[in-house]
Structure 1
């Protein structure tokens, strides 16, 4: 039963995850999330990328070849995701990250201003401020949506990729500290590179999304105390 569910999950994720990554790249390049072209591209990606692994699985019998091919595909998708996430976090023009100049001679002053005015170490302070925006007609709700929803889903794909690529991440005691360290590293890097604020609420949202996405997969993979097996497609 567990093996059956794992194969179904693999087929779904091989269609959905690449489609999501392609759509993110589309947004970065063209900024039109709800155009007909974008919807058609996402639908086509899910269909094509969902069918291809099924065809590959039924045309290859060598387990070693299947395992290696699956691992390489997951690694490629993981790298695409990491590069896109890094662009959004450190280089995106939409968040004015492309205007940062660390060599203009005012780095120390800018860092001090960032610490005094941009850093938040009080849990739920920023989240409450974002929620208030929904009650203020003069301020676009998009600001709150990006800050809340965007931060919540940003690290969710790690819950798929890390257990697939690194066996130790199949255990919650390894995965949870790892994802926490990754998020903290991102927050600290954003602070010192002046590409974003260091906010405890960002950590709460990032970690909450990564945890929420990991729990159902963990439950399925460890159903009846069965060890997770990296099933080949």
Structure 2
């Protein structure tokens, strides 16, 4: 059962990387190497990039635009949250040590989101957004809450015991 869960996690991570780093395009190592080359040729531009370094700035703006029915802002807010919910649900089932699961899920969600944001910044394939960190990490926490509720209701008990 753990093998199947690990396979599901790998497929999920592939699609998460494809959506966040490649913006839905097929994953291409060649294009990443080309981007690394461009970044090395113009490494100074990494520090001249626009981004959001103010917590809740884009979240607030997105919530204001929700009332105006701007589909992009709601997609960005909801999408960043939803993208990490499976992470928060699968990680606890994969961890063999069940101590301090909340802290582990929180830290792993934050670390994964931070690695995506830094990769986007360094490779110039997106912009750094601190609100994405907040939303992604919150998604991981929501996923963990769903996991805990499912375990307490008995839904994941069989799965957890087998893993």
TM-score, normalized by length of structure 2?
Answer: 0.76
CA distance in 2, matches of 1:169, 1:192: 35
Pairing 1:129–2:61 present: yes
For 1:163, the equivalent position in structure 2 comes to: 92
Q: How many residues align?
A: 152
- Structure 1: 5+ residue stretches without partners: 1-69
What is the CA distance between 1:106 and its match in structure 2? 5.2
- Picking from 179, 201, 206, the partner of 2:109 is 179
Q: 1:103 to 1:169 in 2, by over 3 A?
A: farther
- Mark the structure with the bigger radius of gyration: 1
- Picking from 154, 159, 173, the partner of 2:83 is 154
Pairing 1:71–2:16 present: no
Q: Residue deviations 1:113-149, cap 9 Å, x none? A: 32xx2x222111011222333455xxx7221122111
Pairing 1:81–2:8 present: no
- Picking from 204, 225, 229, the partner of 2:134 is 204
- Picking from 88, 112, 116, the partner of 2:47 is 112
Please say if residues 80 and 135 of structure 2, whose CA atoms lie closer than 8 Å, have aligned partners that are also in contact.
Answer: yes
- Which range moves more in the overlay, 166-175 or 179-188? 166-175
- Structure 2: 5+ residue stretches without partners: 26-30
CA distance in 2, matches of 1:229, 1:92: 33
What is the CA distance between 1:156 and its match in structure 2? 0.8
TM-score, normalized by length of structure 1?
Answer: 0.56
Please say if residues 169 and 175 of structure 1, whose CA atoms lie closer than 8 Å, have aligned partners that are also in contact.
Answer: no
Please say if residues 190 and 197 of structure 1, whose CA atoms lie closer than 8 Å, have aligned partners that are also in contact.
Answer: yes
- Picking from 21, 28, 33, the partner of 1:90 is 21
State the secondary structure of the residue aligned to 1:123. Answer: coil
The higher relative CO (CA closer than 8 Å, separation ≥ 6) is in 2
RMSD: 3.0
For 1:11, the equivalent position in structure 2 comes to: none
For 2:28, the equivalent position in structure 1 comes to: none
